[in-house]
Amino acid sequence: MEARIARLEADVAHLRDDVSDIRDNVRTLRDRMEAKFDAVNGALSALKDLIIGTRSELGAQIAGDKLELTTGQSELATRIEGVRSDLTARIEGVRSDLTARIEGVRSDLTARIEGVRSDLTVQIEGVKRDLAAAVATLKSEIAATKVWMLLLHFALAASLLGTMARGFGWI
């Protein structure tokens, strides 16, 4: 049993050595990590200062750009107003020219329409006269045909009565 205890004591001593080595390693690692954290904090601090400097530079640039944009806007507004007035004048010129042309075409078409109207009126009156003459001629021919038909009916009736009288022995 003594051998086992001796062996356990040797194992415990060995474990103590291992634990003390691990502690030394953890302390060394902790020291290195603190050094790294200090370096990272320094870099972050420098980066923060750089960002602040960049922000102030960008703010100044943006302010300058805003001033340039405001100046550019006023110049563009002036140019647009000039173009607007120029286009308005041109449109008014075109409008007056087109109005004059339209009035000319209107008067020309009115004159042509009146000429066509008078020509058609004369032609319609001629057709009315010709039609009235044709109707009068047709009426006289119908009247003559009525007389002829009446005489034809009398002749037919007379011949029929004569034939009947001969057939019945009246003649």
The full 3-state SS of the chain, as one line of letters, equals CHHHHHHHHHHHHHHHHHHHHHHHHHHHHHHHHHHHHHHHHHHHHHHHHHHHHHHHHHHHHHHHHHHHHHHHHHHHHHHHHHHHHHHHHHHHHHHHHHHHHHHHHHHHHHHHHHHHHHHHHHHHHHHHHHHHHHHHHHHHHHHHHHHHHHHHHHHHHHHHHHHHHHHHCCC
* The pair of three-digit structure tokens given for residue 2, joined into one six-digit string: 């003594």
How many angstroms separate the CA atoms of 133 and 128, rounded? 9
> Mind listing the pLDDT tens digit for each residue in 15-55?
888 888 899 989 999 988 998 888 898 888 888 888 888 88
pLDDT level of residue 135 (50, 70, 90 thresholds): very high
> Mind listing the pLDDT tens digit for each residue in 75-131?
888 899 999 999 999 999 999 999 999 999 999 999 999 999 999 999 999 999 999
How many angstroms separate the CA atoms of 55 and 48, rounded? 10
